[in-house]
Structure 1
């Protein structure tokens, strides 16, 4: 034990621990050691009490009734007081405290105790507690109780983060499963329907041929919608790793992949940003396609630098007010879909990067402004500066 260490040292240790690359389990184990050292006691335990029992999640106790994974009656532990009160409980000598005749004194044999609740997503997950078989010679101070409460809050945040990360992983797995079903189980029979419709078109004429042309058009539209849905499912996820991307180059590549007819593109951009190149290209493709499909013939599109990102403008008739407002509200999907899934994909690419989107539209045209973008040094400068 190192009870002589200055109090500030323990907080520094916790700060360094919180910012370390250790796993959640490793961090909690280290936090328990820091707490035992700070309080000069024998034992440290993180418990789970969510199901009414006392389950030991992590501890320095290696064997016996309170070893890791053991489950006992919560009502026979000191921690039940913490769970009931949702606040710290502490005493240096059980015999000299108001808990002198508590059942936990006889069952656990612990005479010194300090514990605090671990509250995860608003519910008591369990407790973090420190204890000893013998009374402590000095009283447990308010500062020490606050320290244990702080430990409980920090552990709760670590558990919450791990929980939410796991939930996100499961959601992504279900999403992958769903997109796999869409891609395979729907597209396969659809491809067969398209193929047989094309064969029938070659062998019919007149009124029946006209009906089949409508069927073929509908089937092709269904195939396109499935493709857009698959893209949309992927674009909404967090981008993760990014790379330096030249905006002008991506915009040019996107323009070449879109059927733009008599539309024209002007590039007034010389910025390199950190982004997922493939997703960024899809953003440009959908904005270009939207301008070409919903504006008059010969529409002019301009990509420009912005102090915090970039803009894409056109001189078309403007967007419906409801659609423009919805593009700035990620939860308003229905209004965005009024102009197809293309603009919804744009919105998902923006939010997937953690950027912000603003739309300014009028009869004179529409400007999409993407901000919150992290600029990157041009590639040729990176090697010089490295």
Structure 2
């Protein structure tokens, strides 16, 4: 089992166990030291003030030196060092100690420390100090990742709330406007019918834009969980959900090709590329999808993209992409959320969107060991 299979708490406990075993000491503690207190976040200690969720006065701990200096502190026997008269020797009863700073976003969070009531026979080496320092840096990165994921979840909750408001407060009156426009179209003819047709087209476009806004509101910076998805059937499914008029689709994908992705978001990407081809390439445009284990491409024989939009897509410039429609912005968000690469080539003979590195995204965190 690797660290990627463990929960956040299990990964932190694993780090503590690795440090204890490496140093040959009894105790390992991850602490939070904000507001002048020493709060135990994770530890192998099961009872007493230094058990999990225990809180003591920071000024009575060895870790206060680490917090004050930001430097790793280590000694095998405090009674043989300059700390022989330190208050922490009496309050903690620990004679062997090594601790390093844990920081989040450049600010001190607390410490990762290892200790023992008994002195260690061998002095703590530079290699051991460096190891604990690096281990504390890994813990810092893990906590920072957890913090950012929590912030992302809060942001997504707010966006979900906003999306619900949009869906209810905008879609309901829009549906009413579409319904009454349809009724009016049945009662008139001539120029009035033509005008109502234009109104209906505008209302349909508004409905499409609301749907695209809802999709964007729910797209995070990272898609999170993903799994192997069979590419060819998903391409055909996405094509079937788009109003393609007289457009034609050709699929040339190697058999059994899979993409490690969030299936729903990958389908949205394909739908928006197909919709873009049909809307801007004409009702009889030809669309070709190719793909293998390295990536996939969607190409059409339409008139091509405006140079500014092609350049903006290549640079992931969302402001200029938005000017061409929210659909392409959805494409950018899905690609970046998966950690893929997108390249766009366009000319008077057509446009090609190519997505690569689909199965080579690096894991969010590195394994501590098997």
Matches within 5 A, 1:65-80: 65-80=49-64
Partner of 1:164: 148
**Compared CA separation, residues 105 and 307, structure 1 to 2 (3 A):** closer
Q: Equivalents in 2 of 1:169, 1:324: separation in Å? A: 33
Q: Equivalents in 2 of 1:30, 1:47: separation in Å? A: 15
Shift of 1:149: 2.0
**Compared CA separation, residues 216 and 132, structure 1 to 2 (3 A):** same
**Compared CA separation, residues 204 and 296, structure 1 to 2 (3 A):** closer
Report if aligned partners of 1:273, 1:373 keep a CA contact under 8 Å in 2: no
Partner of 1:292: 278
- Structure 1: state its 5+ residue gaps: 1-15, 376-386
Which of 339, 353, 364 is equivalent to 1:368? 353
Tell me, yes or no, if structure 1 residue 118 matches structure 2 residue 109: no
Shift of 1:223: 1.8
Q: Equivalents in 1 of 2:355, 2:25: separation in Å? A: 55
Q: Deviations over 1:251-288 (max 9, x none)?
A: 44444444444544444444422255554444333323
**Compared CA separation, residues 226 and 92, structure 1 to 2 (3 A):** same
Tell me, yes or no, if structure 1 residue 186 matches structure 2 residue 205: no
Partner of 2:368: none
Tell me the TM-score normalised to structure 1 length.
0.78
Report if aligned partners of 2:312, 2:318 keep a CA contact under 8 Å in 1: yes
Report if aligned partners of 1:246, 1:270 keep a CA contact under 8 Å in 2: no
**Compared CA separation, residues 304 and 165, structure 1 to 2 (3 A):** same
Matches within 5 A, 1:50-129: 50-129=34-113
Kindly report the root-mean-square deviation, in angstroms, between the aligned alpha carbons of the 2 structures.
3.3
**Compared CA separation, residues 348 and 193, structure 1 to 2 (3 A):** same
Matches within 5 A, 1:324-335: 324-330=310-316, 332-335=317-320
- Structure 2: state its 5+ residue gaps: 361-370
Q: Deviations over 1:139-177 (max 9, x none)?
A: 222233223223322322332333333333333333322
**Compared CA separation, residues 27 and 252, structure 1 to 2 (3 A):** closer
Which of 307, 314, 318 is equivalent to 2:304? 318
Report if aligned partners of 1:245, 1:277 keep a CA contact under 8 Å in 2: no
Report if aligned partners of 2:258, 2:293 keep a CA contact under 8 Å in 1: no
Which of 337, 341, 350 is equivalent to 2:335? 350
Shift of 1:295: 3.0
Q: Equivalents in 2 of 1:65, 1:333: separation in Å? A: 52
Shift of 1:85: 1.9
Q: More deviation in 335-344 or 135-144?
A: 135-144
The SS at the match of 1:342 is helix
**Compared CA separation, residues 321 and 68, structure 1 to 2 (3 A):** same
Shift of 1:356: 1.8
Report if aligned partners of 2:294, 2:357 keep a CA contact under 8 Å in 1: yes
Tell me the TM-score normalised to structure 2 length.
0.81
Give the paired residue count.
357
Q: Equivalents in 2 of 1:125, 1:214: separation in Å? A: 60
Q: Deviations over 1:12-58 (max 9, x none)?
A: xxxx7x63633332343344344334434443322111333211222
Q: Deviations over 1:68-119 (max 9, x none)?
A: 3232332232111111221211123323212233332343333332211122
Shift of 1:127: 0.9
The SS at the match of 1:54 is strand
**Compared CA separation, residues 201 and 362, structure 1 to 2 (3 A):** closer
Q: Equivalents in 2 of 1:72, 1:42: separation in Å? A: 20
Report if aligned partners of 1:57, 1:69 keep a CA contact under 8 Å in 2: yes
Which of 318, 321, 324 is equivalent to 1:336? 321
Of structures 1 and 2, the larger Rg is shown by 1
Report if aligned partners of 2:78, 2:84 keep a CA contact under 8 Å in 1: yes
